[in-house]
Amino acid sequence: MMKSEVALLYVLIIMSKGSAQSMKPRRSVFFSDVNLKLFKEPDFDSLSSVLVREDIGQLFIGARGKIIILSLDDITKQTQQFNWIVTSKDKAQCQTKDKSIEECDNYITLMHTLNDGRILVCGTKAFDPICAHLIFEKGKVTMEDNWENGKGKIPFDPNKNFASLVNGNTLYTAGSINFLGSVEAFQRHGRNSLMTEHISSWLKGPNMISMKFAEISKHSYNNEDDSVFLFLTEIGIENQRNDLRLSRVARVCKSDMGGLKTLQRKWTSFLKAHLDCPFGDEGSTSLVQDVFFLQDEKNVSDSIFYATFSLNPKPSSTCSQSAVCTYKLSDIQQVFRGNFMTETDSGPWVRFTGSYTSPYPRTCINDEMRAKGVRTSRDVLDSDLMFVKNHPLMEQVVTPITGKPLLVGSAAQFSRIVVDKVTSLDGQQHNVMFISNNSGWVQKAVWSDDDGGRIIEELQLFQDPQPIRFLQLSSRSGQLYSTTRTAVVQLSVRDCSRYTSCIDCLIARDPYCGWDRRTGLCAAVAGASKFSMIQNLIDGDVGICPSSHLPKQIIDIHLTLDVAQFLPCTPDTNLPISWNFSGSILEPSPRHILFSQGLILTPSFTDEGLYTCDTVEVVEGREHRKAVIQYNVKILEGEILGRVNWFQGVVVYILGSFCLLCVMLIIYMYWKHKP
């Protein structure tokens, strides 16, 4: 090896030792090796909304000037398309208001399924929002002719963030509501429309992230009203720094009717609290990026919010620290039942120490309140509603279930998250997280009380690094749909083909996968027979695997005495490696430099022997080793090497001459006996 090459390897070693420590995925699968389906068209861009309809097997994609409908089973099959473009007159009028020609298109930014099966779609329409309905009848989707005003439902500006959800036929939205984008509101639309007060103590420079509905009445012992939760970031009113952004969770009650006199057509149940995900440097704040709500069907209070956070909110960042934190619904409810904050005359917000006896809005209306005559928010006293108006902030902070993040990453910034409930062969349920980032990758991760969080694998879904904007999961079919601004990808979350042996299959502890003893393949456990398949998610015990007699790869290599040589070791996983020399663990020394991709060996005569590179994985205190490659090293001195090379040359010359004579003899005999 040249001296310059050895020097480069030394630099790589130093860089690898000095890099930030973070949780590594067990395996990294690059784009060329991921089994996926891709939908992309030359004029398909600015993808701005996605809707999965499992009941009709369709995937709806909202983009600039069009709605594309794809088959949910195979997104490469386009079933329909609606062009919803802006007239030249509307576009010209929009441009007179200092908007660019791109901004003055119609971006389909909202799509929701209503209770009657129709799909509500809204587009920005040259800064003049409009809504319509799609209907699925007789295997075909059509668009109704009657259009609705979309102002206040979606932002005028297609680049503005907003959050929305539909419960039944009721639409809830949170975002900017005017042409300039300077007024932000959290609203309920329809017959009993409500919105937030336009005061900074309610919302101050908010960035709306996500909205979730919790059916609390379903399991409440006192029939407490359902809740709508809004996750956002905003400038903290309780801090001395005027520019410090904090993560928030806000809550309103579903049956809120507004006040009779005070807070007319305004929320009377709006409360908010600081949402904390502690990681990063001391004093830094974490900003929520996305939220997934996994509702517990047995007890809604045990439901969990999974959220991604970042210390750097800029989408263009490629090296910012991120994390995943989880929050129990009952813990959030408890914070909203706590103490209020109040604003002092001098400005700072402090704990409210006065008396406030009304249970509303600490809890939404329940049987106890109804028994006292408070059946709706309009029955709440004006004095209580005035208190609510001036005290939207709670004192207590919402903290994660574990007190810390489940996962922390220091590579590309986490963006979207979805969670799937997976039933293993033993009947246990496991929550599998799929976390996207701003470089086009998705990580598959699980968390358990026993061994904490672990990333099973990371998958490169898009060849070019780009932010993943949407992540949708069809649990029924086991398909994950991921989108950027210009493309859609479909991936089976139950693909177990990357585990090529029983040992790989079991030790990965992928809840989706098990080893099929009949076929000799790693396959999905969903719907499989327990008698033919094995799986061990507790400790990855590979002792139950059938015996394997695969030959080990041994490479004979001759090294020159005292000349450094690089012995590469590149496993198909990201697991740490360990070197074994003639039956003993190889320790670092001046002659043996170990790092993550191989070994630099500067040999002496005592270094002859068998070198084995193993991956090392510890599961529940049990160490698993797997040989990646073996080198049978022999040492030659310079002079001996020269004599050996000379001798080899002579042998090759003699053998070559002998072969040439044989060929000439065969040709001679052929021509001699030719008729």
Q: Please report, as a single letter, which amino acid is at residue 103.
A: E
Average pLDDT on 135-140 reads 92
Which of the listed ranges 4-8, 432-436, 542-546 does the model predict with the highest average pLDDT? 432-436
pLDDT for position 661: 59
552 vs 472, higher pLDDT: 472
User: 290 pLDDT band (50/70/90 cuts)?
Assistant: very high
Q: What is the pLDDT of residue 456?
A: 95
H helices of 286-342, where? 329-336
- Structure-token match 């939207």, residue found: 392
Task: For 305-338, write each residue's pLDDT tens digit.
Answer: 999 999 854 545 445 789 999 999 999 999 999 9
Length of the chain: 675
Determine the pLDDT at residue 675: 45
Q: Which of 227, 266, 220 is nearest to 362 (CA)?
A: 227
Of 7, 18, 49, 190, whose CA–CA distance to 115 is shortest? 190
pLDDT tens for 90-137 read 999 999 999 999 999 999 999 999 999 999 999 999 999 999 999 999
Can you read off the two tokens belonging to residue 133? 């309905």
* 111 CB neighbour count, 10 Å cutoff: 21
- Per-residue pLDDT tens digits for 333-386: 999 999 999 998 877 899 999 999 899 999 999 999 999 999 999 999 999 999
Instruction: Give the list of residues 6+ apart from residue 4 with CB closer than 8 angstroms, or none.
Output: none
Backbone angles phi, psi at 9, to 5 degrees: -65, -35
Residue 573, Cα to own-chain centre: how many angstroms? Answer: 20
Please tell me the predicted confidence (pLDDT) of residue 70. Answer: 97
Indicate if the pLDDT at residue 662 is higher than 70: no
Q: Which of 45-54, 233-242, 446-455, 636-645 has the highest mean pLDDT?
A: 45-54
pLDDT band at residue 485 using 50, 70 and 90 as cut-offs: very high
With a CB cutoff of 8 Å and minimum separation 6, the contacts of 74 are 37, 490
pLDDT of residue 541: 81
Q: Is the pTM of this model over 0.85?
A: yes
List Cα–Cα distances, 395 to 232, 240, 353, 645, 653, in angstroms.
17, 16, 11, 81, 89
Q: CB within 8 A of 18, min separation 6: which ones?
A: none
CB 141 within 8 A of CB 111: no
pLDDT at 287 over 50: yes
Digit-coded pLDDT (tens) for 593-608: 998 889 999 999 999 9
Q: What is the dihedral of CA 184, 190, 192, 197, to 10 degrees?
A: 0
Higher pLDDT, residue 180 or 663: 180
